[in-house]
A and B are shown apart, each in its own frame.
Chain A
Amino acid sequence: MIDLLATQITLPDLITFLVAGIAVVLGALGVVLMRNPVHSALSMIMTLFAVAVLFIEQDAQFLAAVQVIVYAGAIVVLFLFVIMLLGVDKKEYLGKDKLRGQRPLAFISVLIIFVEILTLARGNWATGAKATVMSTTSPISNVEQLARAIFTTYLLPFEATSVLLIVAVVGAVVLVRRVDEKPGSAEQPKELETESEMK
């Protein structure tokens, strides 16, 4: 508590951070540990929403709104649609790993990643020059700052993302299209036959 008083953290900020942080971790644990994929997707909504709260806490209001609309709204709904289409198979294969010792290795390497991040930082979290232009401390609002940055400095990447989105839409349509020339042979696509022949 002495440390908190020394850094002058106000109580509402602290409570917001703690509640949102706990929600982030619990949601992530839910995604990893839940058996039912639907429950995992719902836990992910909790994490995404708590991250949006942390965005607001750090004066990134526009990104918080986009996070809720795009992630918690669109992406999770897309996940749920696919889960429903595929059918919820609660039985996950829990037998032997194909790659021997994959799970213990995963635990060890993840622990190494976490400890390494914390060790490398060692109290020196953000190095580099403070920004002089487009400072987040200027009086203009966050949305206007972001708009100015995107539509002037980052205009070319912004245009490139529109191309990327078109490519993604076309790719998705091509991927889920059924491959049949005749409408009657919809149950037996060609690739399936060749695959069964290979077996």
Chain B
Amino acid sequence: MTVPGSWYLVLSALLFSLGALGFFTRRNILIMFMSLELMLNAVNLTFVTFSRMLGDIGGQTLVFFVLVVAAAEVVVGLGIIMAIFRRRSSATADDLSIFRG
């Protein structure tokens, strides 16, 4: 028998926490974006684990859609970062305060 699902869930909780930590503490906007991907992966791992624990293919289907949305999100997000960088020539998130009223 394979490892119980709770171990996977603890691992994905840890991965999510590390992603959140990176997102909150890093200043480089690209690394913040990578941390976001880590959090998405943690959720994907959770879905696959639930899919196995409940014997339902629905979880894996959801991961499929999450992958598509993540790909689209990365394309648009990196496009936005390129557009910002062309204007400000800086990849630090704290410098981006032009929207402040």
A residues contacting B by CB (< 8 A) are 7-10, 13-14, 17, 21, 24-25, 28-29, 31-32, 37, 40-41, 44, 47-48, 51, 54-55, 57-60, 62-63, 66-67, 70-71, 74-75, 78-79, 82-83, 85-86, 89, 92-94, 97-98, 102-103, 105-107, 109-111, 113-114, 117-118, 121, 123, 125-126, 128-131, 134-137, 142, 145-146, 149-150, 153-154, 157, 161, 164-165, 167-169, 171-172, 175-176, 191-192, 195
- The DSSP consensus for interface residues of chain B is helix
1/0 contact string of B13-33 vs chain A (CB within 8 Å): 111111111101111101101
Could you count the A-B residue pairs with CB atoms below 8 Å apart for me: how many are there? 252
- Residues of A near B7 (CB, < 8 A) are 17, 21
Docked complex Cα distance between A113 and B78 (Å): 28
B17 to chain A, nearest CB (A): 4
Q: What chain A residues lie within 8 Å of B2 (beta carbons)?
A: 9-10, 13, 17, 57-58
Instruction: Report the minimal beta-carbon distance from B37 to chain A, rounded to whole angstroms.
Output: 7
Contact A83 B13 (CB under 8 A): no
Using A41-B34, A195-B87 as known contacts, say yes or no to A92 and B57 having CB atoms under 8 A apart.
no
